[in-house]
Amino acid sequence: MLGFLIGGCAILGLAIGSFLNVVIYRVPRGESIVSPPSACPSCGTQLAPWDNVPIVSWLVLRGRCRTCKEPISPRYPLVEFATAALFAGTAARFGYDWALPAYLVLMAGLLALSCIDIELLLLPKKIVYPLLIMVAALLTMASAVTDQWHNMLVGAVSGAIWLTIFFGLNYASPRVLGFGDVRLSPLLGLALGWLGWRYVLLGFFAANLFGAVIGIALIATKRISRNQQIPYGVFLAMGTALAIFAGPELLRPFNNLQ
């Protein structure tokens, strides 16, 4: 039965990934995600339904617009594939758990935010705030159904602590930590805290480890300068994902700690 859930979530992920492509392109530009319908970014021709099938359409068209033949970024099928993979992995991680919808929404949101942060060094509040509200509401529902209010309490406290720490870091050095990361912090604290305080510590440690290793590598290879900003939101997302997916194994030696 778990296989059906994983497969169903993967298919759902393909559809959500197609929507995320719209979000990633339009939200930073202040455009509506509802209208107009999807169109070629080069010639503006509205896409037919058969040209908008996740991954398949891009492969059939060989990565080019049917009308103007201009290249279509491979980012589109990659986002769709990544969303499907994240959804399948999340379903495998949680199974038939009431918390599953919250973490599916979280993964979709973090993927969209990461793509935008890489491109524009921006974490739009029009995505962060609705994402926080949806995840909080879904985790509250899961807590109510399963009577796991302790999880929700730990999550809320963790979110408040992360917000306080990140706000202080931003106040001390805005160039090092942008306010978009401050907005994102309570969401990650909540999501990780719901799983347990050890996940909060693991996610924070992993995010900074990713940031340090990748940042040093980019500086060493002269891809960026020492004073250049890095998309820290991406590393926060990576650390959170690592804690969620690999946390049970990584934290197993500490299971006896309360």
Task: Decide: 235 and 118 in contact? Cβ < 8 Å.
Answer: no
> With contact defined as beta carbons under 8 Å apart, do 122 and 132 qualify?
no
At residue 148, the pLDDT reads 92
Position with higher pLDDT, 44 vs 88: 88
User: Which residues, 6+ apart, have CB-to-CB distance to 71 below 8 Å?
Assistant: 63, 64
For 20, residues 6+ apart whose C-beta sits below 8 A from its C-beta are 79, 80, 83, 108, 111, 112, 115
pLDDT in tens, 117-172: 999 999 999 999 999 999 999 999 999 999 999 999 999 999 999 999 999 989 88
pLDDT digits (tens, 9 = 90+) for 10-24: 999 999 999 999 999
Phi first, then psi, for residue 71 (nearest 5°) are -60, 140
Share of the chain residues as helix, strand and coil, in percent rounded to the nearest 5? 70, 0, 25
Q: How confident is the model at residue 257 (pLDDT cuts 50, 70, 90)?
A: low
Q: What is the pTM of this model?
A: 0.94
Please tell me the predicted confidence (pLDDT) of residue 49: 74
Instruction: Output the pLDDT for position 200.
Output: 96
CA distance 221 to 203: 27
Whether the pLDDT of residue 258 is over 60: the answer is: no
The CB density around residue 191, as the number of other CB atoms within 10 Å, is 30
